[in-house]
Structure 1
Amino acid sequence: MTDVGKQYRIAFALALFTIIYNVIEGLISTYLGFEDESLALFGFGSDSFIEVISGLGIAHMIIRIQKQPNSHRDNFERTALRITGFAFYALVVALVATSIYNIYTGHKPLTTFWGVVISIISILVMWALVIGKRKVGKKLDSAPILADANCTLVCVYMSIILLISSGIYELWGIGYIDSVGTLALSYFAFTEGKECFEKASSDKYCGCS
């Protein structure tokens, strides 16, 4: 196997791991977020499910550029991007509306302990993926893979937001901080949705950062 072929195999393995991790993270986060009445953790988990759709498009993209390095996005990738964009926008509407309602009613989570735990794990895992994807992207001199690495970095930012909001609530019990954290997550979800539609209608690879 050539070194180039090996790097593409690594890139695909990283994409596959990202998909599997997001499925697991989504299931655990939405369940615990619902049980603990933590909107930030539930929204974080919902975002993970949307990232799975995006991840399928990335995995497909890696196979495409391995076969035809100079090819452009195909219909599968553009469709995945549009579906992901719609899903992000729908999530934003739901999270913003619920956040405002929770702030108005003074709703407080039962606990945000698991939000702290999951966010720390996510930061470590996603940062390792960023490093791995950047390393492969540089070796292959692949703009699409490097762009995906930067998009994974957004997941690190969202994990940090969850950590901060969950940590503040656990330490000081400030009720509305969970909703404030959710609004911050909604901002990143909106920017990701917007970028999905921009990429679906062009051949550019934005860095997302």
Structure 2
Amino acid sequence: MTTHADRMTWVRRALALALLTMGFNLLEGLVSIGFGWEEQSIALFGFGVDSLVEVAAAALIYWRFRHDGALLDQQAARRERLATRFIGIMLLLLAGGTALGSILQLLSHRHPGTTLPGVIVSLVSLLAMFLLWRGKVRTAAALDSRAMMSDAACSLACMQLSTVLLIGSLLFWRWPSLWWVDAATALVVAALIAREGWGGFHASLQPDFSGGCGCGHANCDASGRTGTN
């Protein structure tokens, strides 16, 4: 059974992870958006905007656990629900915007001049997000927090987006005639974002939402689901 002291240790870890996420993703987002705009890369630009969404999600997690020890159970559950819901809404809006930009790029037959920035950004992001994701999953399990697990799912999605961006960038780098690769990659990015966003938003609407995610199970994944359904 988790003691109050143990919980406070994990709460401090959650706050530290939120601050690290905000710092890294703010820098990553600004760099990605800058290069994406310069290179006319929808995938890289969308990846940068997603990084800013990660900043907002981490800010919600920081708000959720700030002064956690002084919150009543009902107040903590309400913060869990609101954090989970708003993270989901932000991701759904981002997915729609990314998909729209990708379709417009496909219709105009535009493509970036180079994808070297995409390769560099995606490689750095993969390493950083993997470390943050592992820390968030462990923390979410210890705190039995759906909001924290949703934030971990955001980091997992960011890793998936980094992989998609890397593959798309390498393909275009090797075969420049594949002008549609960047836009097609962005569509895949949008689908991944939408899946994560809907999962969190749907969970927050459930009448029996209590803030817990069942993360005490050893086989609980980054979305708060277990393999024993």
Same fold, judged at TM 0.5 (above): yes
Give 1:111's aligned residue.
114
Report the secondary structure of 1:58's partner residue.
helix
Does the aligned pair in 1 maintain the 2:118–2:165 contact within 8 Å? Answer: yes
Say if 2:10 and 2:139, in contact at 8 Å, map to a contact too: yes
Asked if 1 retains the 8 angstrom alpha-carbon contact of 2:64 and 2:80, the reply is no
Pairing 1:178–2:182 present: yes
Shift of 1:51: 1.9
Which residue number corresponds to residue 158 of structure 1?
161
Deviation string for 1:155-190 (max 9, x for gaps)?
A: 111111111111111122121100011000110121
TM-score, normalised to structure 2, is: 0.77
Q: Deviations over 1:101-128 (max 9, x none)?
A: 2223221101111111001111100100
Q: What is the CA distance between 1:97 and its match in structure 2?
A: 2.5
Tell me the residue number matched to 2:29: 26
Contact 1:29 1:42 in 2 (8 A): yes
1:208 aligns with 2:223: yes
Residue 14 in structure 1 maps to residue 17 in structure 2: yes
Higher helix share: 1
Q: How far did 1:86 drift?
A: 4.0
Name the amino acid aligned to 2:205.
S
Task: Give the number of aligned pairs.
Answer: 207
Task: Say yes or no: does 1:52 pair with 2:55.
Answer: yes
Instruction: State the TM-score, normalized to the length of structure 1.
Output: 0.84
SS of structure 1 residue aligned to 2:77: coil
Residue identity (%): 30
Q: Is the 8 A contact 1:88 1:189 kept in 2?
A: yes
- The RMSD of aligned alpha carbons is 2.7
Give 5+ residue unaligned stretches, structure 1: none
Q: Is the 8 Å Cα contact of residues 169 and 182 (structure 2) preserved in structure 1?
A: yes
What is aligned with 1:149?
Answer: 152
Residues 11 and 68 of structure 2 are in contact (CA less than 8 Å); yes or no, is this contact kept in structure 1? no
